[in-house]
Structure 1
Amino acid sequence: MKVILLKDVKNYGKKDEIVDVSDGYATNYLIPKKLAIKASQDSVNYLKGKIDKRNVETESQRQETLYLKSQIEKITLNFKLAVKDGKAFGSVSQAQIEEKMLKEYNIKIDKRKFLKHENLNQIGLFYIKTKLDFNIEATINVKIESKE
């Protein structure tokens, strides 16, 4: 019997898949426990519409993430550190970068999304990589200058 899974079922498939199972397993276990419904023409059409709608929403979210990436890569964050005899005192942390992005540009990036970032404690221009949704990476430019 062909059924549409409403939830993930171990050894059979994932949610919204059409699978072929024995009649007894479908009628005695999957359907009564609301893990599956019988695959009729109407339910298959409904499933296809649902999957198409989900794909459109996912693509829309992906495009928004690509737009966010382009906005992030145009930004250069400026920080100032105290410098004495060529040594910088203090550092710039992930939390400070996250806070400045939110305050100045209204872009929220979770500090856990930063890839291999350590506190910055030197003068110069740094490129910080972040991982956004859909495995899209963006680079934040961070410029650290002397307070003098």
Structure 2
Amino acid sequence: MKIILTQEVTGLGAPGDIVEVKDGYGRNYLLPQGFAIAWTKGAEKQITSIKRARDAREIRDLGQATEVKAQLEGLAVKLQARAGTGGRLFGSITPGDVQQAVRTAGGPELDKRRIELPGHIKSVGAYQVQVRLHPEVTANFALNVVAAK
């Protein structure tokens, strides 16, 4: 089955890519979840608009990705969250929360879909967060989750 990805799917491709997948995977998962649309000749206009939007927010080249990596790895990111006794959080930390904390700490603007958390963060402490900046560049930085006063 030929489909057009509308969102980034790990191991498959980026938005706007035309990929060939097994029929069941496309019909039962990718299409209903909104990760892809069926490929048709008329969908070419949609592909160009998706790629234009991706190019506007994507890191341009390898050099820019390494610069952003250097900024991130030298950054001390502290995130305050509501916590109960024993350091257990009310809820959990999301990639959007991490994106906001990086911006508050003076870091670069990140796409929250490219932030990979080390599992569910549900307690205070120090964590290593990974960001996929470019297909060849991945940045790691320390995230310190503290209880809000």
> TM-score, normalised to structure 2's length?
0.51
Q: Give the direction of change, closer, same or farther, for the CA distance of 1:129–1:144 in structure 2 (3 Å limit).
A: same
- The equivalent of 1:146 in structure 2 is 147
- The equivalent of 1:76 in structure 2 is 76
Tell me if structure 2 keeps the 8 A contact 1:81–1:90: no
Gaps of 5+ in 1: 1-59
Which structure has the larger Rg over C-alpha atoms?
1
Tell me if structure 1 keeps the 8 A contact 2:130–2:140: yes
Superposed, 1:1-148 pairs within 5 Å as 61-86=61-86, 87-105=88-106, 107-115=108-116, 117-148=118-149
Using the alignment, how far apart are the partners of 1:64 and 1:103 within structure 2? 21
Q: CA deviation at 1:140?
A: 2.5
Which has the larger strand fraction? 2
Using the alignment, how far apart are the partners of 1:144 and 1:73 within structure 2? 17
Tell me if structure 2 keeps the 8 A contact 1:93–1:118: no
The percent of aligned pairs where both chains have the same amino acid is: 15
Two-structure CA RMSD over aligned residues (Å): 2.3
Tell me if structure 1 keeps the 8 A contact 2:95–2:117: no
Q: Secondary structure at the match of 2:110?
A: coil
Gaps of 5+ in 2: 1-59
Q: Give the direction of change, closer, same or farther, for the CA distance of 1:102–1:83 in structure 2 (3 Å limit).
A: closer
- The equivalent of 2:15 in structure 1 is none
- The equivalent of 2:13 in structure 1 is none
Using the alignment, how far apart are the partners of 2:133 and 2:103 within structure 1? 15
Look up the equivalent residue of 2:142 and give its one-letter code.
N
